[in-house]
Chains A and B, each alone.
Chain A
Amino acid sequence: MKVKWLGVLLLSAAVAAACGQGRAIFNVDVYSFLQGTGKDTVSYFVPAGVSASASSAPQKVNLPGVGSSLVDSVRAFGTADLRNATGAGTIGLQVYLAADSAGTFNPSALALTVPTKNVSGTSTTADTIRGDISAALNALFTKSQLWIRFQATASNPPPSVTPLQGKAVLTSLLLTVIIEDKFF
């Protein structure tokens, strides 16, 4: 509720100035909410021969809150560094979104799955986060806040005997929320 009126105000401004038939697009810099909190980093440690996942703590993201407006689509674009320290295997990232902190741990909160990347040895591999957020979660973006959590799923397949260890560090993430013209 705190910022819902801001959204209504912004959308109204859009209506007033743009006269309404176009779309309102909100570019939400999610990374700015994560930067400096430590929640932009997921540390992973996977013993040889198994797969495991690790996660950051959920982070709240403020949104303008657009009330009854219809969210047409939400597109994510970001980058991450996979800073591997030891071992070799694959790392995949998942993004979870929910209306509250605990909800981000529900399987239904899975918003986006980033294809796996191979990592090995001590190296940094750049990864790109790109794709449409699951449409089932569109309604979250009409609220004044949502929660986001990152998860890294690492696989350390045989015959490796070295633990796969490192960090997945988010370096940018922008969510583009496209709002249909139903502002009031």
Chain B
Amino acid sequence: MRPSFVGAGLVALGVGCATAADAQGVLTDARRIGMGGLGLEQSSLRRFNAAYRAVPARSGQRGQPKLTIPIPLGLVQFLHDHPHISKDPAFNRDSAGFDPVLVLNTVLNLPLFLEVKKAPTPTNDVVFGIGKDSLRANLGLTATLVPQDQFGISASSRPLDPGIDIKGVRVGVMGWLHDELQFQLGDKLLGFLADSQQAAHNTTYDVLVHGMVQGGLAPTVSYAGRIAGDTALGLYVGGALHYYLGVGYFRTDGTAGDSIGNPIFARPLNPVGQTVTRYSKAGNSLGHGVGGDVGFALVTGPIEIGVGVNDIGATITWPDTRTDTAFYKDSTVAGAGPSVAYSRPGPNHVETKTKLPVSYIANLAYTVGKTTLGADVLNTGRGSLVHVGGEQRVGVFVLRGGVARDQRKRMEFGWGGGLRFGGLGLDLGFWTHTNSLSNQRGITMATSLSIY
């Protein structure tokens, strides 16, 4: 229990300085990675712009793949580095060698793709001042990496969307899934790490933790069609009305940290954590709510402009929720008392509400000859991502490039290429990233196979 507890704090700390999850979830398509994450193809725009179901394919651009399969070379590398992961001390929480930072960094940055250049790590010294009753940390320049704001990962996806189209009207059932995991350093811990403040007596240094996953189905009626113009110059609109049926959700909010005693070294480590957990399991009464998507697209010759808004007003009411509280304090570590851990059931069969984040996209594409350029701004509730990129088709080859600005306002660069033979395409993409524990960029190489 101890390592996992300590791990929770460390995780927050360690990964926090780095993680800026892509709001679109994990990208597995080397073509998009080669354009810095830009979703130039209309199939990727349909997720966020309801009008794009009616927008015809761009002339000159190749067809959309039916299936894209990532080639996980990174996993090969990872398994080579950790051949016996179940016995690897770094991944075994009961081992003295347990490394929670590595574990969470692995989870948050899935090693799907090959790391061709690891982000260089800072090399400055960190200094701790220790006295009979004093403790202070000076992380030097790396204190700037300590996350000041909330950090973590989140994703909203619609993993399936079967339905029937009749003249622009579509009736279907959409699957939806939303998850988020967020951390924020408490003020005291932030001051200790980032501002080199001295540790204080009888103070808890903790991390705020928030996690949620919810999912279900949504019977949907939608429309997408051209309301003005023709294929060369047309205005397309789209809208969808969803009735969300929640199959299950789990949400936990709490803190985890260490409570320092008086004097500091008398009881230096008293792990303490508490959470409030709400959940509605599969089998309980379904959650329900109503929401909608709207979008439009304007196609004028080689230029395409679109705006989409999704999950408007999507509040899910869960009529059969249980709330539990949990508390953990391990004074045995300090030798000052027993370990106390309990989980107390709270109110059951109560009604709670959750929200799906509203997402926005604004996109622009320009196609001329064998060149397609594009840009988009995407916000899925955790800050805006900006992508600019393009591709140039040369025979069976495709060259791609792009830049992106992530939620932390860092610029990342993508480049790559592809080869297509008939119904089969092989793509390669490189993407700089700062998703590891560093302020400097590493380079990831992605490979994927597409079937057309």
Contact = CB atoms under 8 A, between A and B. Distances in A.
Contacts of B134: 29, 32
B142 A19 contact: yes
A48 interface: no
Interface in B124-139: 124-134, 137, 139
B101 interface: yes
Interface in A1-49: 1-3, 5-6, 8-10, 12-29, 32-33, 35
A118 B439 CA distance: 55
B10 A16 contact: yes
Given A13-B13, A15-B101, A62-B265, A20 B130 contact: no
Interface stretch (B91-99, B310-318, B380-388): B91-99
Contacts of A35: 132
A28 B265 CA distance: 13
A64 interface: yes
B97 A23 contact: no
A63 B130 contact: yes
Nearest to A34: B132
A32 B137 contact: no
A108 interface: no
B121 interface: yes
A172 B438 CA distance: 38
A72 to B, nearest CB: 11
A15 B146 CA distance: 12
A32 B131 contact: yes
Contacts of A17: 13-14, 17, 126, 139, 142-143, 145-146, 193
Contacts of A5: 2, 6, 269, 333
Given A13-B10, A24-B126, A25-B125, A6 B269 contact: yes
B128 A18 contact: no
B17 A8 contact: no
A67 interface: yes
Interface of A: 1-3, 5-6, 8-10, 12-29, 32-33, 35, 62-64, 67-68, 184
Given A3-B269, A17-B14, 7 more contacts: A5-B333, A6-B268, A21-B121, A22-B126, A24-B125, A25-B125, A67-B96
